[in-house]
Amino acid sequence: MAALIVLLDAMRALVSFPSRPVPDTLVEGVLNARRQFNEALSAPFEPVAVTGSDAYDDAWIGERFDKFASLIDERFGGLEKAGETRDEALKTALAGIDERFEGLDEALKARFAAFDEAGTASAEELASLKSRLAVLEARATAQAKD
């Protein structure tokens, strides 16, 4: 009975969530509760002794719980498949994102390498311009003295 109560609480939380899509934690909670409920149902029912008689046949209880479990499987059985589909879609999307980031990383490395080369060339050109300017200043100073 405890597993049934946990399952019903999990389903209530899932159904009463105010917005869609529902968080994965609620879906996982229902799946875990359903799994625990099915495990509880798989345990054999012990016969109930009634005073002054043989053991009471309570097989009908197990049949009712089996029927209830099959109804739950019909209703929520798709959740597991949806979860697997979601996981596969997420893996595929993340793989695509990883590929794009790798391409972006390579492009950035190439761009920075080009900037480094341009910076080195600019530094060399600047040094050359400074030396020319120094030569021109020296000439101008020499002409001014003459």
Are 37 and 65 in contact, with CB atoms under 8 Å apart? no
**56 beta partners:** 48
pTM, full prediction: 0.33
pLDDT by position in tens, the chain (length 146): 777 788 788 878 877 777 777 788 888 888 888 888 888 777 766 655 555 555 556 677 778 878 887 887 777 777 777 778 888 888 988 888 888 888 888 888 888 888 778 777 777 788 888 888 888 888 888 877 76
Q: What is the dihedral of CA 109, 110, 115, 121, to 10 degrees?
A: 130
- Strand, coil or helix: what is 146? coil
Instruction: Give Cα 76 to chain centroid, integer Å.
Output: 22
